[in-house]
Amino acid sequence: MTYLNYAQLEALDVEAFRNRLPYPWCNPEDLLTEPGYLQLLQTLPDVSLFTSTFGIQRSHGQQPHDRFALEYREDLEVAAPWHAFVEELRGSEYSRFLRRLFGRGGFKLRFHWHYTPRGCSVSPHCDAKRKLGSHIFYFNTADDWDPTWGGETLILDDRDRFKRNSAPAFADFDQAFAGESLGNRSLLFQRQGNSWHGVHEIRAPEGHYRKVFIVVINDRLRSGLRRISARLRGEAIRDY
């Protein structure tokens, strides 16, 4: 079984990605093979494996990003297709794809799932400087999700008005671009100084979750230094 659609990765327009406003992003379809996507969809980890991350204070006065989170580990008891998928993401072809898009290497990948229930949101924020970007794979379909419930990642344009250590509301931004999030879709963006993004409050019925799997693309050097510093301070490292 192959999970990544290598022809689609190769076909992605690098210049269009880099020149997209307000910062580099794309919302491609079918970056996973159809059989691979269906197998991953059918073997998603159960929410009972996840950690509740509700009410955790964020920097700069931003609202908490409430959700259930699960960090990938090689010894994690999830279905075999997910381990195989991560192996592909760690492989040379996906690495070459990221280098082509970002115009550089020197990155370290981490992986996690987020399940977000009714009433929760991802407040507008810019990612930490150690992050080069994120690749968000969506795992809701028309069979289990109504588009009116939300769940799209919003790319937010502040026209360079806000400092990253501030807490603007969604309504404060000049424009918001919503990537499609149902079916075999993903959203990939490259972090820059103004790379604001977020997710509006989820309006799904109880028992339904916005389900995503995220490839966190970290700067290897910055990430290593941050991890050492956090370990010395006795702090936990989170990329979400």
Q: What is the domain-level CATH number for residue 52?
A: 2.60.120.620
Answer yes or no: is 240 within a domain.
Answer: no
How many CA atoms within 13 Å lie on the side-chain side of 14?
A: 10
Q: What is the pLDDT of residue 116?
A: 98
Q: What is the pLDDT of residue 35?
A: 98
Q: What is the pLDDT of residue 201?
A: 97
Q: What is the pLDDT of residue 63?
A: 81
Total domains, the chain: 1
Name 70's bridge partners: 113
**Domain range holding 100?**
6-233
Answer yes or no: is 1 within a domain.
Answer: no
Q: What is the pLDDT of residue 56?
A: 82
Provide the 8-state DSSP code for 57.
Answer: P
Answer yes or no: is 239 within a domain.
Answer: no
φ and ψ at 171, to 5 degrees? -70, -15
Beta strands in the chain (DSSP E): 25-26, 51-53, 67-71, 107-116, 122-125, 131-138, 154-157, 175-178, 186-190, 197-199, 210-219
Q: What is the pLDDT of residue 62?
A: 85
Answer yes or no: is 107 within a domain.
Answer: yes
Q: What is the pLDDT of residue 136?
A: 98
Answer yes or no: is 238 within a domain.
Answer: no
* Whole-angstrom distance, CA of residue 27 vs CA of residue 45: 24
Residues (pLDDT < 70) of the chain are 222-240
Answer yes or no: is 44 within a domain.
Answer: yes
Q: What is the pLDDT of residue 64?
A: 83
